[in-house]
A = this chain, B = another copy of it.
Amino acid sequence: MSITYLEAIREAQARALNDDPRVFIYGQDVGAFGGAFKATKNLAARFPGRVLDAPISEDAMAGLAVGAAIEGMRPIIEMQFADFSTVAFNQIINQAATLFWRTNVPCPITVRLPCGGTSGGGPFHSQMMEAIYAHYPGLVVMTPATVEDAYSMLLEAVAIDDPVIFCEHKLLYNHLKAEKLPTEALPVGKARIAREGRDLTIVAYSAMVQEALIVADELATEGWEIEVVDLRSVKPLDTDTVMASVARTGRLLCVGEAFPWGGVTAEVIARVACEGFGLLDVPPQRLNAKDTPVPYHPNLWAAHRPTAPRIAAAARKLLRL
């Protein structure tokens, strides 16, 4: 048996619905249809009345989730694509994210964002939005890179008493497979050493972890040992694990699939520069997508986001310094 990243997300939701009567799912086409990506397939039938189709009203979807959370429910809302969460932006950052701080009432909602580019996706079905949400106080932002994390982190997202932005990468949905679902997991907020090494630390998250691992494999054939750190959640961001890795390797490359201004790579490098300056043997480097919208055509799309060859080139440059 094997299970995909997407199936893990579905199973996590099934388990959450099964174990906790306070959980429900709300989103466009999530009901009988099972969602645009089938992340909720069969759930409406298995859990009648608890997997509800929403009108095309992302603002009201997020607002409704907050209201239900106030009443003790634990809603999961699915945005059909992360990009459409811009319409719910106000409710997420101003309503959900401020509720606990303002009123002392927790806001346990999970916002599932199918993120990231796919071939042919184009400017409005491809965006990475983790940096936008991580900027705001009051949100937890998860970016699972493995099947196991997709499962266990989604369960934790639902269990956490705060709003969680759950960034699931569409490219991993069917492509990433594991043998079985995990029975234990790292705590939220802990990064993971996805591969050990001593020559260079590549910090990555979401689909970039897979690219980084390819690069590590490739550079291993050249004799380099690359350590890959999977951030898992970008807020909180596990600076300690990143710095411990940089302490071992002295070299840091941070890779993100988002737009280049700001974002996770800036935050990681700023933290290491401020708090772990002495650990760096050479200047840190970052790699992001290009500073244009995400292009539709596969040729352009493949050049827009960082992929193994570009990461490998950046890594080699760093290793030679």
A-side interface residues toward B, CB under 8 Å?
Answer: 83, 86-87, 89-90, 93-94, 97-98, 101-102, 123-124, 131-132, 134-138, 235, 237, 258-259, 261-267, 269-270, 272-275, 277-278, 280, 282-286, 290-293
- Among B93, B97, B270, B277, the residue within 8 A (CB) of A266 is B270
- Among B235, B270, B293, the residue within 8 A (CB) of A138 is B293
Report whether B262 and A293 are in contact in the complex, using a CB–CB cutoff of 8 Å. no
Report whether B283 and A274 are in contact in the complex, using a CB–CB cutoff of 8 Å. yes
A246 to chain B, nearest CB (A): 12
Contacts A89-B90, A132-B132, A137-B292 given; does A273 touch B283 at CB 8 Å: yes
Report whether B86 and A98 are in contact in the complex, using a CB–CB cutoff of 8 Å. no
Cα A37 to Cα B275 in complex, Å, equals: 41
Cα A284 to Cα B264 in complex, Å, equals: 18
Report whether B136 and A259 are in contact in the complex, using a CB–CB cutoff of 8 Å. yes
Which residues of the partner chain B approach A97 to less than 8 Å between Cβ atoms?
Answer: 293
Number of copies: 2
Contacts A90-B86, A277-B283 given; does A131 touch B137 at CB 8 Å: no
Cα A110 to Cα B80 in complex, Å, equals: 31
Which residues of the partner chain B approach A258 to less than 8 Å between Cβ atoms?
Answer: 135
A265 to chain B, nearest CB (A): 7
Report whether A275 and B267 are in contact in the complex, using a CB–CB cutoff of 8 Å. no
Closest 6 CB pairs between A and B?
A277-B283, A273-B273, A86-B90, A269-B270, A266-B270, A266-B266
Report whether A275 and B283 are in contact in the complex, using a CB–CB cutoff of 8 Å. yes
Which residues of the partner chain B approach A262 to less than 8 Å between Cβ atoms?
Answer: 131, 134-135, 262-264, 266-267
Q: Taking CB as reference atom, which chain B residue is nearest A128?
A: B135
Cα A284 to Cα B277 in complex, Å, equals: 8
Cα A137 to Cα B285 in complex, Å, equals: 21
Which residues of the partner chain B approach A86 to less than 8 Å between Cβ atoms?
Answer: 89-90, 93-94
